[in-house]
């Protein structure tokens, strides 16, 4: 019996997540272009490289910047369009990804711990990451880009529901 494609989880992450991911992309861009500029500076003195390459080594940071820009600009918006989550009955359903997609179904009865985390960028934007750990070989599942209050409420609901389900099983 074919059930068709998976439906989207009900809730989007916070719109502020786009700013977080844009800032992270900007940081990555600076490191990529800065690293290629540093490499170009060092490679200018490498005598084992062909002459045509050392004379045009200044193009390396330009090429890296031009090739990286579309990905670094598009990624936050694509991630926002894709990242969704839902607590439906006794299952947490989340979808994430940029170049690839990941659908995760976590039965609440299997949850061992629920943590919320905030890096300094997330904290400055009022965002958090929810980490759901189970005993499965897959480890943990995360929902990134949640508003802090939403993450705190969801963590509390999940922990309470997981405790209820464990008590029912004994």
Claim: this prediction has a pTM higher than 0.95: no
Question: What pLDDT, on the 0 to 100 scale, is given for residue 9?
Answer: 92
Q: Which residues of the chain have pLDDT under 70?
A: 1-4, 167-170
> By the 8 A CB rule, do 65 and 131 touch?
no
**Residue 129 phi, psi dihedral angles, 5° rounding:** -115, 130
Question: What pLDDT, on the 0 to 100 scale, is given for residue 79?
Answer: 95
Cα–Cα nearest to 84, from 148, 3, 146: 146
Cα 87 versus chain centre, distance: 19
Question: What pLDDT, on the 0 to 100 scale, is given for residue 18?
Answer: 97
């Amino acid at each position: 019996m074919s059930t068709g494609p998976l439906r989207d989880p009900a809730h989007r992450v916070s719109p502020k997540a786009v700013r977080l991911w844009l800032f992270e992309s900007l940081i990555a861009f600076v490191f990529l272009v800065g690293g290629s500029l540093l490499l170009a500076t060092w490679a200018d003195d490498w005598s084992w490289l062909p002459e045509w390459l050392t004379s045009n080594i200044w193009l390396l940071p330009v090429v890296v910047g031009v090739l990286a820009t579309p990905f670094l600009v598009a990624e936050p918006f694509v991630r926002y369009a894709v990242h969704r989550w839902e607590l439906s009955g006794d299952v947490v359903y989340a979808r994430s990804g940029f170049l690839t997609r990941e659908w995760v179904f976590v039965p609440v009865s299997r949850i061992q711990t629920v943590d919320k985390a905030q890096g300094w960028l997330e904290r400055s934007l009022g965002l958090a990451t929810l980490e759901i750990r189970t005993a499965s070989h897959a480890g943990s599942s995360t929902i990134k880009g949640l508003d802090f209050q939403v993450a705190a409420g969801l963590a509390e609901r999940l922990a309470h529901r997981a405790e209820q389900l464990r008590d029912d099983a004994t």
